[in-house]
């Protein structure tokens, strides 16, 4: 059969079904959630693609719980994700960057089967939507087991190491759905002609090359000594590893992360005096991307702790975020230890 014919490509749907067969006792509830997030992403992709033509540009005129000005697309995408997940009875609850609290969807004590909790950032990098720069959606899925003691849903906050799946969609030159369930990282490109995400990047591994340095250097004067030393090394060192490192910073975490995942490098959003825990949120930005990074051979750290080990205390908790090639993130952790040792 000629390559590229319809029989030999995998779609997100068929790939999920194939992965589900690895779990013979699975009843497909978890696969349903992934498929619904795929559907929601296609709907958001259609809004993003026509952003200049339909009424999704500009500010909503409201602020979210973070005190951040909401873009129209933030609100629309939040509603899209809620509605596609609202139909899945195995989703006990959802938590969004745009909502103050966890929303209980389908949780009834009599349900005698595992359910799930989905954390998500409906539009990441939304300030870029009006200027046609790539934005994204990030999601993280935890299991809510029925047959063992568990905290009430409203406080169901677990370390990222407990995620059963994590992923993002980057709405760029094409829309790509990238996710992991702990069996490697796989990327699917949306074919608008057939309306399906088609497998285009199976088993993504981040190259061990520090190609890109991604940070907002305007905060440099406020960074700690360790962050400044790390930044200086990546940008100015003539060590062979960093001699060709170049700066790329889009201001959309998903776009910056995706480029570095494929090309190699470091993304960092450090703490600074005005943001003592950094800007990025643990549960629906850092932890899902940390799971992807580690599954692709990279590393993600606060500088003092593995991101996936951080025990959340609040839905919107922020953490300093350093993610990318293992060797480079370990260099930063070493600089922090030296700084802490005085
Ligand atoms: P969001 O649009 O979901 O609030 O996320 C924006 C984040 C992230 O996408 C990006 O890396 C960061 O904000 C950029 O922050 P600065 O403008 O401070 O660099
Ligand atoms: Mn975001
Ligand atoms: Mn957002």
Residue 163 within any structural domain of the chain: yes
Distance from the CA of 79 to the center of ligand 3, in angstroms?
A: 13
Residue 323 within any structural domain of the chain: yes
Mean pLDDT score, 170-183: 96
Q: Is the pLDDT of residue 271 over 90?
A: yes
Distance from the CA of 339 to the center of ligand 2, in angstroms?
A: 30
Q: Is the pLDDT of residue 4 over 60?
A: no
Pairing of strands 69-71, 59-63: antiparallel
Same domain, 183 and 251: no
Q: What is the pLDDT of residue 171?
A: 97
Residue 278 within any structural domain of the chain: yes
Same domain, 28 and 160: yes
Residue 336 within any structural domain of the chain: yes
Same domain, 24 and 150: yes
Work out the pLDDT band at 109, boundaries 50, 70, 90: confident
What would the two tokens of residue 285 be? 């930005």
Q: What is the pLDDT of residue 2?
A: 47
Q: What is the pLDDT of residue 187?
A: 98
Distance of alpha carbon 150 from alpha carbon 131, whole angstroms:
44
Q: What is the pLDDT of residue 6?
A: 56
**For the segment 279-299, what is each residue's pLDDT rounded down to a tens digit?**
999 999 999 999 999 999 999
Q: Which ranges of the chain would DSSP assign to H, the alpha helix? A: 12-20, 29-49, 72-86, 225-236, 240-243, 253-263, 287-295, 326-341
Work out the pLDDT band at 134, boundaries 50, 70, 90: very high
Mean pLDDT score, 233-260: 97
Q: What percentage of the chain reaches a pLDDT higher than 90?
A: 78
What would the two tokens of residue 179 be? 């996710």
Q: Token pair 């745009």 is at which residue?
A: 98
Q: Give the list of residues 6+ apart from residue 318 with CB closer than 8 angstroms, or none.
A: 275, 277, 278, 279, 280, 281, 282
Q: What percentage of the chain reaches a pLDDT higher than 70?
A: 98
Closest residue by CA, ligand 1 atom 12: 251
Q: What is the pLDDT of residue 298?
A: 98
Torsion, Cα 156 158 164 169, to 10 degrees, reads 90
Residue 207 within any structural domain of the chain: no
Q: What is the pLDDT of residue 198?
A: 96
Q: Is the pLDDT of residue 33 over 70?
A: yes
Q: Domain residues for 66?
A: 8-201
Work out the angle at residue 291's Cα, subtended by the Cα atoms of residues 285 and 292, and round it to the nearest 5 degrees.
90
The answer, yes or no, to whether any atom of ligand 1 lies below 6 A from the CB of 124, is yes
Closest residue by CA, ligand 1 atom 7: 125
- Residue-averaged pLDDT of the chain: 93
Q: Is the pLDDT of residue 173 over 60?
A: yes
Global pTM exceeds 0.75: yes
Distance from the CA of 252 to the center of ligand 1, in angstroms?
A: 6
Structural domain count of the chain: 2
């Amino acid at each position: 059969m000629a390559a590229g014919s319809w029989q030999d490509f995998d779609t997100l749907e068929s790939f999920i079904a194939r992965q589900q067969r690895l779990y013979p006792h699975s009843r497909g509830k978890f696969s349903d959630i992934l498929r619904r997030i795929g559907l929601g992403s296609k709907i958001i992709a259609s809004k993003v693609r026509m952003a200049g033509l339909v009424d999704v540009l500009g500010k909503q005129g409201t602020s979210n719980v973070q005190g951040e000005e909401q873009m129209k697309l933030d609100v629309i995408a939040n509603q899209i994700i809620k509605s596609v997940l609202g139909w899945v009875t195995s989703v006990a609850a959802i938590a969004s960057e745009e909502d103050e609290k966890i929303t209980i969807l389908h949780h009834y004590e009599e349900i005698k089967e595992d359910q799930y909790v989905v954390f998500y950032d409906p539009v990441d990098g939304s300030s870029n939507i009006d200027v046609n720069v790539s934005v994204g959606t990030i999601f993280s899925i935890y299991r809510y087991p029925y047959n063992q003691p568990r905290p009430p849903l409203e406080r169901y906050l677990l370390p990222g190491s407990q995620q059963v799946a994590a992923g993002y969609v980057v709405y760029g030159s094409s829309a790509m759905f990238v996710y992991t369930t702990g069996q490697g990282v796989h990327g699917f490109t949306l074919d608008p002609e057939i309306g399906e995400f088609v497998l285009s990047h199976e088993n993504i591994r981040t190259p061990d090359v520090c190609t890109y340095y991604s940070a907002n250097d305007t905060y440099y004067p406020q960074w700690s000594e360790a962050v400044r030393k790390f930044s200086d090394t990546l940008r100015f060192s003539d060590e062979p590893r960093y001699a060709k490192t170049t700066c790329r910073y889009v201001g959309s975490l998903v776009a910056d992360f995706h480029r570095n995942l494929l090309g190699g490098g470091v993304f960092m959003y450090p703490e600074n005096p005005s943001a003592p825990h950094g800007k990025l949120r643990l549960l629906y930005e850092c932890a899902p991307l940390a799971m992807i990074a580690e599954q692709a051979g990279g590393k993600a750290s606060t500088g003092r702790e593995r991101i996936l080990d951080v025990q959340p205390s609040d839905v919107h908790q922020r953490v300093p975020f350093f993610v990318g090639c293992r060797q480079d993130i370990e260099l930063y952790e070493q600089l922090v230890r030296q700084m802490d040792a005085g």
